[in-house]
Amino acid sequence: MPVGISLRVMMMSNVASRKSMLSVARRRLDETGRIFRDAGPRIRSIPSGGWIGAIREALGMSVQDFADRLGVTRATAAKLEANERRRTIQLDSLQRAADALGCDLIYALVPREPLQDMVTERRMAVLKSMRRRTQQNMRLEAQEVDDPQQEEHLLAQAELLVPDRLLWRKEK
C-alpha cells in the first residue's frame, strides 16, 4: 500500500475513533442527564432558606455549632448561608459546608434535552445553512438541481459534512 494511502487510512481511522469516543461520551452524559431530568422539580427546587440552612435546621444544629464545625466565626457561617440563598456562594465554600453538615455536594449541569439530540439538531441547522448557500450559488450560475432525493442524501451525509468541531461556530 503506498505511503500516502496508508496515512490517509490512518487519519480516517483516527477521525472515526474520535467520533466514536464523542458518541460514547455523549451517551454516558445523556444517561446521567436523563436521571436528573426524570427527577424533575424534586431535585431542582431549592428550600427557601437554602440547602445549608434547611439541612442545618433539620439536624437541629445552631449557626454557632455549624460555624464551629467549619472552623469559622458565627458571622462567617451566617454569611455563607446568605451567599447560598443569593446564589453567590463559591463551590469550594459549598463543599466545605456540605462536609460540615455530613453531606455530599453533587454539582451537575443537566442538559434540558439529550446531548445527542442537541448535536443532531445543530448539525441539521448547519447543514441546511450550507445547503442554502450552495443552492444560491448554483441558482446564480444556472446550475440548480431539483432532485427530490438530494435532501435525503445530504441528511445521510450530515455527519461527514458537518463535523462536531464546526457545529457551534458562528456563521460568517
Q: ∠ CA 51-56-59 to the nearest 5 degrees?
A: 125
Q: Does domain 46-100 have CATH number 1.20.1070?
A: no
Q: Which of 26-40, 50-64, 150-164 has the lowest mean pLDDT?
A: 150-164
Q: Tell me: pLDDT of 88 over 90.
A: yes
pTM of the predicted model over 0.85: no
Residue 166, pLDDT score: 73
Q: Which of 28-32, 44-48, 82-86, 93-97 has the lowest mean pLDDT?
A: 44-48
Residue 78, pLDDT score: 97
Radius of gyration of the chain (CA): 26
Of residues 111 and 93, more confidence is placed in: 93
Domain coordinates in residue numbering, the chain? 1-43, 46-100, 113-172
Helix 115-140 × helix 150-161 angle, to 10°: 120
